[in-house]
A = this chain, B = another copy of it.
């Protein structure tokens, strides 16, 4: 165990960076998990049935890197430990799943890792319930999560912990590093726990707590481990040990304390390395073989799920709409897409936090379910969706960010997407949310205008398994099939829905809209056309996809020689100048909305055919 601590000390000392406090305090516990408790195969890090480990207290990343190294993961060599927190290293300041093999989940924002551990455990329970048989369990693993005082202080942890209990995720073990130190001082937490005192490094009690956790068949287990933050270092037991590096003298004293002072830095005693031969994966494969013979149909589906979870030609199941279809809200079209997809995408899983009927995000054939974080990182083709009102995306902002950072292709179905919700008023009317979500790197935000664009958005969102997508959907009804829109064109982010008749000429003005405002643009364009104006209407359904198009396509849709543009979107004007240009005009809302019937609210904020037409005319007159 001293060896684990000395590797931590040497890494911090060498890199002059890192958070050693938690790493030193929890060294025994984490090493014990990797050495004696968890099933995994370091030479096959993505083996489906491995136990999952999440370090929610992500600032202790170094501890996980040391454990991965000692367990035999190729991704963390001694050289990597020496590069701790260096640019481009495989050992960044907080664990990143997209950087280091063996890291399941990107962590750092406190509490989020606990939520993701609940998601991983839920994924296991969900897939297990679908495929396991009384005589053979092909999905059967545990999920471990180490959380700290800081995680416990986030409301999110309480919330997901109560969900885990509700879902009876008995294979989930939360280990709470109760070192009595957060940066500002002490905390306490009133959970029902197994308490283990590990401040003296006696692992017996911890071992027994794991045995108790494993024998539990209904409840998730919460193990509160008392540790000594910064154990061995001169600042141990104080908040000073949380981060910062050691000075030479401190390192010398620590090494003397454990009689390590005659050894080279980064020395590892061979026996500290894992020597277990990882049989579990082989055993699992025999189990799978048996399963395949006995339950061929389920095995086929299971394998499909493991591969990527999509039946060939799944896109063709998406509904198509004709001009004669009755009007509905885009949330309604979305509900139809989602239920059609559920039949061909076995991995589709998700729900809405208490708003499923409002969000129309309920899988009618699949019983009840609620929103988890992080299901997608479990692997095995799961495609999680999470639904709420667009305005309440604020409550999950950090989770959305983390999914983009973790390359997790979550679908966020965010309905009630504008002031058009009317009576519920400004607390429920999103204004700045489209801009805020568009600013998140990588994330794809779609604001479809009708049934066709809704289906097209689903197609692109599901094809992009490494990027989260937001579908911003209307509460109020819009046409199923706006003339000129196209499901296929959604992939280009922006395209022409109606244009001037003479293809030799350029338009005098271009009206650009998204979602519910696209029809408004089209209505104004028709008025202007009757007056002899050359008007084009463009749907800018996904900014980021449009920005990525080759110059040709962008020039085709928004030619640089046309300087007059009007954009129309019931949201913050932020960012629209990019598309309308210096002379263009942005019709947006830089104010909170108002309670009232939606047609009146729209009028108040300038979203009427008359105002769009007037604005275009004043621009044309310039």
A residues at B contact (CB < 8 Å): 17-18, 58-59, 85-89, 92-94, 96, 106-109, 150, 153-159, 162, 182-185, 190, 352-358, 368, 370, 391-392, 394-395, 397-398, 401-402, 404-405, 422-428, 431-432, 435-436, 438-442, 572, 574-575, 577-578, 581-582, 589-592, 594-597, 600-601, 604
Contacts and interface: CB of A to CB of B under 8 A. Distances in A.
Contacts of A109: 391-392, 394-395, 427-428
Contacts of A395: 109, 154, 397-398
Number of copies: 2
A18 B423 CA distance: 8
A621 to B, nearest CB: 19
Contacts of A162: 190
Contacts of A574: 435, 438-439, 574-575
A327 to B, nearest CB: 20
A86 B398 contact: no
A595 B94 contact: yes
A210 B86 CA distance: 59
- A interface, over-half SS: loop
Contact of A86 (B18, B87, B597): B597
11 contacts: A17-B423, A85-B425, A87-B601, A88-B596, A108-B427, A184-B370, A394-B397, A435-B439, A439-B572, A574-B574, A581-B582
Contacts of A394: 109, 397-398, 401
Contact of A604 (B59, B87, B358): B87
Contacts of A18: 423
Most B CB contacts (10 A, CB to CB) among A157, A356, A431, A435 go to A435
A89 B398 CA distance: 36
Nearest to A163: B153
A622 to B, nearest CB: 14
What 7 A-B pairs come out closest when comparing CB atoms? A87-B596, A108-B427, A155-B155, A92-B595, A432-B439, A436-B436, A155-B159
Nearest to A352: B184
Nearest to A156: B155
